[in-house]
């Protein structure tokens, strides 16, 4: 699948530096791509790009198809004449090293509203034509999502099952009534999606022009409070009032002794199969407009998934239920061709999961932090790696390598030191070196490890409902010196990119 043996960096756009309290798709994103090119990297891995809600998790999005308005660059809106330059003169005193979502969201949304108000005065011209074309081309999902988002705003952010039953159940008369009542708010949501996709597509073209491909995430499950479930209740196990009867999770594992009760509604795979998996095909089709390679989060759920009764408070009392298996991916292949997929196959992986992945030809994942303290048969140890593999020092769900190292016991540290022939004073780069020299086709390094950051820079702690995914780069951390060091290591192990494209002009 990866004949060129690439390496890359794991960094979500919200972690980029810059003004405005949150990373966005503006100048810092282009400079990051320049940095990747200078460091001879050819992959940029991100988390899901969908609009977030309570908890700020991109894995619990309001839509599997929409983009996150918080990523829209306000500077680009100024450049496009939709915001006055003075509107950005006095932002709140946002912390530079993490996202304060509670402060960022209201400030940024009121500025996006100002941009929409300005755009609404434009009745003709290039931008109006572009907006109308976007709305027409994306009508198959955009109208439903925009109405859902407008309804959620009108109901004070409450979940859709707490709305009036008529609109919660999508009765035709209620849909018409609310569509008329919320016309302006629906158009605001359409405007936000137009701007997100416009800015993201420009950024992706720039990355591809620098020989850098983007790896994006498809979470296997969707959030209950989403346009996906509201508009497609027949595809999920819900009761007569629209509440889930069973929910997703995982049994006890490395991250949690009581398992993880994710709470996502579970699919009626029989209904999806009867429709030749059309909803999933549409999801993959949209994803392929946003990224170059698709990482499927929790791939094991397609072989079998952990079903938890909705009444349970933890994931302990669940059961394994068969998933759709290869049938889903065969339907995707028939309709979309060969989709470049990476299977996230971490955790409790049984023979049926491995058989499914191998039969489909998808590369799996390995994490070096999981390799130590056992015997030589551990599949994550470098001598057990195979070529069809994407290798990580750690993922967004792990501690940084330095934070992880400080939490290890003496025997485990000794195992690592003996195996790698190191002292451990520079453990982040020691593990990076092991990843880059592995036979694995692709190596991905979290940016925190490149920068030798500790536990304070951890992105996510699984099972913690709030306070995650806030870490940000500081403006002076992406130095040319670090790029050169990483580039030399990348070249040493045969992962060097082939060409350097021209840098983009300033916005």
Angle between helices 480-492 and 427-437 (to 10 degrees): 40
Per DSSP, 139 falls in state: H
Question: Helix, strand or coil for residue 123?
Answer: coil
Question: Is 292 annotated as catalytic?
Answer: no
Distance of CA 105 to the CA centre of its chain: 19
Q: What is the 3-state secondary structure (H, E, C) of 385-427?
A: CCCCEEEECCCCCCCCHHHHHHCCCHHHHHHHHHHHCCCCCCH
Decide: 58 and 47 in contact? Cβ < 8 Å: yes
Catalytic residue among 27, 225, 297, 430, which? 297
Q: Of 505, 506, 500, which Cα lies nearest the Cα of 40?
A: 500
Phi and psi at residue 406, to the nearest 5°: -70, -20
Phi and psi at residue 141, to the nearest 5°: -130, -30
Distance of CA 74 to the CA centre of its chain: 22
Instruction: Give the C-alpha separation, 52 to 68, whole Å.
Output: 7
Question: Is 344 annotated as catalytic?
Answer: yes
Decide: 336 and 288 in contact? Cβ < 8 Å: yes
Phi and psi at residue 293, to the nearest 5°: -135, 145
**The 364-367 sheet, strands edge to edge:** 341-343, 293-297, 213-219, 43-45, 7-10, 442-446, 389-392, 364-367
Conformational region of residue 263, where left means phi above 0, alpha means psi within -120 to 50, and beta covers everything else: left
Conformational region of residue 277, where left means phi above 0, alpha means psi within -120 to 50, and beta covers everything else: left
Catalytic residue among 344, 399, 430, 441, which? 344
Question: Is 211 annotated as catalytic?
Answer: no
Place of tokens 């429709």: 275
Q: How many CA atoms lie within 13 A of 164 on its CB side?
A: 12
Decide: 438 and 456 in contact? Cβ < 8 Å: no
H or E stretch including 126?
helix 126-137
Query: Going by DSSP bridges, is the β-strand pair 304-309/319-322 parallel, antiparallel, or unpaired?
Result: antiparallel
Question: Helix, strand or coil for residue 482?
Answer: helix
Burial of 498 (0-12, 13-18, 19+ CB in 10 A): exposed
Catalytic residue among 80, 100, 153, 397, which? 397
The tokens for 88 are 């950005």
Positions marked active-site: 297, 344, 397
């Amino acid at each position: 699948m990866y004949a060129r043996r690439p390496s890359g960096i794991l960094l979500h756009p919200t972690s980029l530096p810059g003004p405005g309290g949150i990373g966005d798709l503006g100048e810092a994103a282009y400079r990051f791509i320049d940095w990747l090119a200078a460091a001879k990297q050819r992959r940029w891995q991100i988390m899901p790009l969908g609009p977030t809600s309570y908890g700020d998790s991109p894995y619990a999005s309001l839509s599997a198809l929409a983009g996150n308005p918080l990523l829209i660059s306000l500077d680009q809106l100024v450049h496009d004449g939709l915001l006055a330059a003075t509107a950005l003169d006095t932002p709140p005193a946002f912390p530079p090293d993490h996202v304060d979502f509670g402060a960022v969201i209201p400030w940024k949304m009121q500025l996006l509203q100002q941009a929409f108000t300005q755009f609404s005065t434009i009745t003709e011209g290039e931008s109006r034509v572009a907006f109308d074309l976007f709305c027409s081309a994306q009508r198959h999902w955009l109208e439903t999502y925009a109405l859902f988002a407008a309804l959620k705003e009108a109901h004070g952010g409450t979940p859709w099952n707490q709305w009036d039953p008529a609109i919660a159940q999508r009765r035709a008369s209620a849909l018409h009534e609310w569509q008329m009542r919320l016309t302006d708010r629906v158009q605001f949501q359409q405007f936000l999606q137009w701007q997100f996709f416009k800015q993201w597509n420009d950024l992706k073209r720039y990355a591809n022009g620098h020989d850098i491909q983007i790896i994006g995430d498809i979470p296997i499950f969707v959030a209950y409070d989403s346009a996906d479930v509201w508009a497609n209740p027949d595809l999920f196990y819900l009761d007569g009032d629209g509440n889930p009867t069973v929910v997703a999770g995982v049994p006890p594992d490395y991250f949690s002794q009581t398992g993880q009760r994710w709470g996502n509604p579970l699919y009626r795979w029989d209904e999806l199969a009867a429709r030749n998996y059309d909803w999933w095909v549409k999801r993959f089709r949209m994803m392929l407009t946003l990224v170059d390679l698709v990482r499927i989060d929790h791939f094991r759920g397609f072989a079998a998934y952990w079903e938890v009764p909705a009444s349970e408070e933890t994931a302990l009392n669940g059961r394994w239920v068969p998933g759709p298996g290869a049938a889903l991916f065969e339907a995707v292949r028939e309709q979309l061709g060969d989709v470049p997929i990476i299977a996230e196959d971490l955790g409790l992986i049984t023979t049926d999961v491995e058989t499914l992945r191998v039969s489909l030809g998808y590369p799996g994942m390995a994490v070096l932090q999981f390799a130590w303290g056992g015997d030589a048969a551990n599949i994550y140890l470098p001598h057990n790696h195979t070529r069809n593999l994407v290798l990580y020092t750690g993922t967004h769900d792990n501690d940084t390598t330095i934070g992880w190292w400080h939490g290890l016991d003496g025997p485990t540290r000794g195992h690592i030191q003996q195996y790698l022939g190191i002292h451990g004073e520079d453990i982040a780069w020691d593990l990076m070196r092991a990843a880059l020299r592995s036979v694995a086709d692709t190596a991905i390094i979290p940016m925190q490890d490149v920068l030798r950051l500790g536990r304070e820079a951890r992105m996510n702690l699984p099972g913690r409902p709030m306070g995650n995914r806030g870490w940000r780069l500081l403006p002076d951390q992406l130095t040319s010196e670090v790029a050169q060091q990483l580039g030399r290591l990348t070249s040493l192990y045969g992962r060097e990119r082939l060409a350097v494209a021209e840098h983009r002009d300033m916005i």
